[in-house]
């Protein structure tokens, strides 16, 4: 729509349960009078395509205006062959979908409504002042932490010849049926002594088939020694997922409702009471003209409980029978329902969980923790962890282990990442790349010559291309465009490393033939460089700060508490070199092992050159080491820059 003025006051995308409840709540609050309404619904909802069951007190039912819609209720629940338990003030209500849909249609008939027999595919913000969207949910199932299974069911509404049912007691779970390696139970809702809805239900990856369900129902009734007549059939499948909903950038006037709005409890599949409460909350915010609507979210601990249970049901589905049987055998039904409503206290939850097979949940908890650690390591900077580990080792006077971590990293990726330049430069990999080797050595000798003739100029060149290369490698792996911003980033990283170790830096510079005047040295040591570094952090590109790369800044700040060489080594090896290595792995389409062996001859060559260089220098020191590294890194920076440019 091109107009900025909404065409309607309310838009309903789908007229299922959740949106019907919102419609009812709007009418109850007098918010439908003189309103323009549009409904997008591809199906004319009249049939009883599903039933809604829920537990409430009679007072809550009356307050919600649902007393005329429910067709039956039960005061007691049974699980397996255990004695029936009272719901203690609550009742389990049965509401047919056709009754709810008919009531919603009757409400709509009283107002100005435009109908469209279709569903929208986008999110036009100008559609209406308020949009209620009940389209199916989209889960962010992209980590090993999340679990998704299904609650599938297929049922018959039957009328039996013999009076075999107790109309005051419903069966929530009867695990006496064959499990077949799944979590399967019978759900029975009796309406009188000879009529009931019987639904075999499965929690699992594969959905229950009509054939299997029919066999279960037939066998159940056969054991009751009665003939029967099928009055209606019902089937469905509800997602049971611990993953969060997809983060949709919706207009502020857009409300995702029902399962798509997070109102489906993952571990049970129940959603009616949640959708009812959500409808009341949404309509209250509209009535009170609340500008920022906050959705109700499950407390973190309940989301955790749900995830553990789903893990067990997914990995060990045959254990579901044991879990649910013990849950109801050792706890009052009313307390279990209170727990499922997420209305229990932590102490009550501990007591309840103590009755469950503890080893199953401990194992699931460890599996969940391991998955969390794996995700954390993938999302977080390896350099941050290594730097923190080095700081701890230093504090406990275990510097030998810190040096071992750095040495292993240097030999594993630090030097090898710069020894692969020939693979993406030379077309014929079967011949010794003599031309490449001569150019490489020539560029390195050029830098050594510059150090011999003009040390200050050589230092400036070295710092410039190092900052450029550091920034380019980081930005490439972060999918950010290289240029002045990446150079800015590399300069900042280098400034923090050197500036936070200025005393050590000046000593190494002196060994390189560069003397910093005492006045500037004292000023830098006191506050100058730190002020620059912190200012640079404040002016970081917005996109960098929004993409978790502030972890690098944290790593550099932690590194300030280490000596200069370990601090530089943590960044150079475990961030810069690792980023370059990952870029080359993608570009060369090789596994890590093959890359390392391809780099081995040039790695050995670099070590031999380094040993020769140190042998020839009169007084080997760290200043001379960095001069050699500058000569070795210059051709690498040149060829890697060409590689990054080709990758664009």
Q: Are 262 and 235 found together in one domain? A: no
Q: pLDDT tens digits for 550-588?
A: 788 888 888 888 999 999 999 999 999 988 888 888 888
pLDDT score of 427: 61
Span 377-399, mean pLDDT? 86
Q: Provide the percentage of residues in the chain whose pLDDT is more than 90.
A: 51
Look up residue 83 and give its DSSP letter: P
Q: Are 513 and 589 found together in one domain? A: yes
DSSP string, 110-176: TSEEEEESS--SS--TTSEEEEEE-PPP-B---STT--EEEEEEEEEEEEESS----TTEEEEEETT
Q: pLDDT tens digits for 482-495?
A: 788 889 889 988 98
Neighbours of 226 (CB within 10 A): 14
User: Distance between CA atoms of 323 and 208, rounded to whole angstroms?
Assistant: 20
Q: Provide the percentage of residues in the chain whose pLDDT is more than 70.
A: 90
Domain finish residue from 241, 257, 280 = 241
> CATH no. for residue 277?
3.50.50.60
Span 337-359, mean pLDDT? 92
Query: Do the domain assignments include residue 81?
Result: no
* CB-based burial, 343-360: b 16+ in 10 Å, e otherwise: ebeeeebeebeeebeeeb
Q: Are 404 and 510 found together in one domain? A: yes
Structural contact between residues 275 and 263, judged by C-beta atoms closer than 8 angstroms: yes
Query: Do the domain assignments include residue 328?
Result: yes
pLDDT higher at 411 or 48 = 411
Query: Do the domain assignments include residue 76?
Result: no
Query: Do the domain assignments include residue 74?
Result: no
pLDDT score of 62: 94
**If we measure between CA atoms, which residue out of 104, 96, 15 comes closest to residue 50?**
96
Residues 6+ apart with CB under 8 A from 338: 344, 348
> CATH no. for residue 232?
3.30.70
Q: Using the predicted structure, report yes or no on whether residue 646 has a pLDDT greater than 70.
A: no
User: Distance between CA atoms of 525 and 92, rounded to whole angstroms?
Assistant: 74
Neighbours of 312 (CB within 10 A): 23
Q: Are 541 and 459 found together in one domain? A: yes
Question: How sure is the predictor about 126, in pLDDT bands with cuts at 50, 70 and 90?
Answer: confident
Neighbours of 322 (CB within 10 A): 16
pLDDT score of 620: 80
Q: pLDDT tens digits for 33-58?
A: 999 999 998 877 666 667 899 999 99
Structural contact between residues 200 and 217, judged by C-beta atoms closer than 8 angstroms: yes
Q: Are 267 and 393 found together in one domain? A: no
Q: Using the predicted structure, report yes or no on whether residue 391 has a pLDDT greater than 70.
A: yes
pLDDT score of 555: 87
pLDDT score of 418: 86
Q: Using the predicted structure, report yes or no on whether residue 143 has a pLDDT greater than 80.
A: no
Q: Are 100 and 234 found together in one domain? A: no
User: Distance between CA atoms of 151 and 207, rounded to whole angstroms?
Assistant: 8
Q: pLDDT tens digits for 61-119?
A: 999 999 999 999 999 999 998 899 999 889 999 999 999 999 999 999 999 899 998 88
pLDDT score of 528: 46
Q: Using the predicted structure, report yes or no on whether residue 379 has a pLDDT greater than 70.
A: no
Helix (H, G, I), strand (E, B) or coil at 235: strand
Helix (H, G, I), strand (E, B) or coil at 197: strand
- Ranking 149-163, 309-323, 542-556, 598-612 by mean pLDDT, the lowest is 542-556
Q: Are 399 and 374 found together in one domain? A: no
Q: Are 352 and 440 found together in one domain? A: no
Domain enclosing residue 165, as ranges:
148-241
Q: pLDDT tens digits for 229-285?
A: 999 999 999 999 988 888 777 888 889 999 988 899 998 889 999 999 999 999 999
Span 534-545, mean pLDDT? 50
Q: Are 444 and 464 found together in one domain? A: yes
Q: pLDDT tens digits for 171-205?
A: 999 999 999 889 999 999 999 999 999 999 999 98
Query: Do the domain assignments include residue 73?
Result: no
Query: Do the domain assignments include residue 143?
Result: no
Span 622-633, mean pLDDT? 89
pLDDT score of 137: 85
Q: Are 351 and 268 found together in one domain? A: no
Domain finish residue from 379, 408, 423 = 379
Q: Are 565 and 608 found together in one domain? A: yes
Q: Using the predicted structure, report yes or no on whether residue 536 has a pLDDT greater than 70.
A: no
Span 611-639, mean pLDDT? 86
Please, where are the H alpha helices in 249-299?
A: 272-287
Please tell me the total count of domains within the chain.
Answer: 4
pLDDT higher at 648 or 641 = 641
Query: Do the domain assignments include residue 77?
Result: no
pLDDT higher at 120 or 329 = 329
Residues 6+ apart with CB under 8 A from 608: none
pLDDT higher at 525 or 328 = 328
How many H-runs (helices) and E-runs (strands) does the chain carry? 24, 15
Query: Do the domain assignments include residue 237?
Result: yes
pLDDT score of 465: 92
Q: Using the predicted structure, report yes or no on whether residue 299 has a pLDDT greater than 50.
A: yes
User: Distance between CA atoms of 228 and 342, rounded to whole angstroms?
Assistant: 39
pLDDT score of 377: 60
Look up residue 316 and give its DSSP letter: -
Compute CA 234 distance to the chain's CA centroid, rounded to the nearest angstrom: 35
Q: Using the predicted structure, report yes or no on whether residue 2 has a pLDDT greater than 60.
A: no
Neighbours of 541 (CB within 10 A): 16
Structural contact between residues 132 and 255, judged by C-beta atoms closer than 8 angstroms: yes
Domain finish residue from 224, 241, 258 = 241
Please tell me whether the overall predicted TM-score, pTM, comes out greater than 0.85 for this model: no
Element (H, E) at 644: helix 622-647
Compute CA 550 distance to the chain's CA centroid, rounded to the nearest angstrom: 19
pLDDT score of 421: 80
Averaged confidence pLDDT in the chain: 86
pLDDT score of 546: 45
Look up residue 423 and give its DSSP letter: G
Q: Are 100 and 187 found together in one domain? A: no
Structural contact between residues 134 and 257, judged by C-beta atoms closer than 8 angstroms: yes
């Amino acid at each position: 729509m091109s107009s900025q003025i909404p065409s309607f006051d309310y838009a309903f995308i789908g007229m299922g349960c959740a949106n019907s409840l919102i419609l009812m709540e709007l009418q109850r609050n007098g918010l439908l009078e003189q309103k323009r309404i549009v409904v997008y619904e591809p199906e004319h909802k009249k049939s009883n395509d599903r039933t809604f069951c829920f537990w409430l007190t009679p007072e809550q039912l009356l307050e919600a205006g649902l007393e005329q819609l429910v067709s039956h209720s039960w005061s007691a629940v049974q699980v397996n062959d255990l004695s029936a338990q009272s719901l203690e003030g609550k009742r389990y209500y049965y509401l047919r979908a056709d009754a709810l849909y008919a009531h919603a249609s009757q409400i709509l008939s009283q107002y100005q409504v435009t109908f469209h027999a279709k569903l929208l595919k986008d999110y036009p913000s100008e559609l209406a002042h308020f949009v209620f969207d009940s389209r199916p949910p989209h889960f962010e199932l992209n980590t090993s932490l999340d679990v998704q299974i299904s609650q599938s069911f297929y049922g018959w509404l039957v009328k039996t010849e013999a009076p075999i049912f107790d109309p005051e007691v419903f069966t929530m779970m009867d695990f006496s049926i064959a499990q077949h390696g799944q979590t399967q139970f019978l759900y029975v809702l009796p309406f009188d002594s000879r009529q009931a809805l019987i639904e075999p239900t499965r929690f699992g990856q594969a959905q229950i088939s009509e054939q299997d369900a029919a066999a279960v129902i037939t066998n159940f009734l056969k054991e009751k020694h009665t003939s029967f007549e099928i009055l209606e059939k019902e089937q469905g499948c509800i997602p049971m997922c611990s993953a969060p909903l997809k983060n949709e950038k919706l207009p502020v006037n857009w409300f995702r409702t029902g399962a798509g709005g997070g109102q489906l409890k993952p571990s049970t599949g129940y959603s009616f009471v949640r959708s009812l409460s959500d409808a009341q909350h949404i309509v209250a915010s509209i009535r009170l003209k609340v500008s920022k609507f906050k959705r109700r979210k499950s407390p973190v601990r309940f989301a955790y409980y749900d995830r553990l249970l789903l893990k067990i049901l997914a990995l060990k589905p045959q254990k579901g029978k044991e879990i649910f049987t013990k849950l109801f055998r050792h706890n009052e039904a009313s307390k279990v329902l209170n727990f499922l409503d997420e209305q229990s206290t932590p102490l009550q939850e501990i007591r309840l969980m103590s009755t469950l097979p503890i080893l199953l949940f401990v194992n699931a908890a460890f599996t969940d923790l391991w998955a969390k650690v794996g995700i954390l390591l993938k999302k977080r900077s390896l350099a941050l962890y290594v730097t923190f580990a080095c700081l701890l080792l230093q504090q406990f006077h275990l510097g030998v282990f810190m040096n071992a971590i750095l040495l292993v990293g240097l030999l594993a990726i630090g030097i090898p990442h710069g020894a692969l330049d020939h693979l993406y430069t030379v077309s014929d990999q079967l011949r010794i790349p003599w031309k490449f080797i001569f150019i490489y050595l020539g560029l390195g000798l050029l830098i050594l010559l510059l150090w011999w003739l003009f040390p200050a100029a050589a230092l400036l060149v070295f710092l410039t291309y190092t900052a450029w290369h550091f920034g380019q490698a980081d930005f490439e792996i972060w999918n950010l465009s290289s240029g002045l911003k990446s150079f800015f980033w590399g300069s900042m990283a280098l400034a923090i490393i050197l500036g936070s170790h200025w005393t050590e830096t000046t000593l190494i510079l002196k060994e390189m033939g560069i003397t910093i005047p005492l006045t500037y040295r004292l000023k830098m040591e006191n506050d100058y460089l730190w002020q620059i570094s912190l200012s640079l952090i404040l002016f970081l590109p917005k996109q960098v700060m929004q993409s978790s790369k502030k972890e690098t800044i944290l790593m550099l700040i932690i590194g300030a508490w280490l000596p200069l060489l370990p601090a530089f080594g943590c960044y150079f090896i475990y961030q810069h070199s690792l980023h370059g290595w990952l870029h080359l792995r993608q570009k060369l389409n090789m596994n890590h092992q093959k890359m390392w062996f391809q780099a081995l001859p040039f790695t050995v060559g670099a070590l031999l050159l380094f040993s020769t260089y140190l042998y020839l220098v009169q007084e080997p020191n760290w200043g001379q080491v960095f001069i050699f590294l500058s000569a070795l890194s210059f051709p690498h920076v040149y060829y890697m820059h060409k590689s990054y440019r080709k990758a664009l």
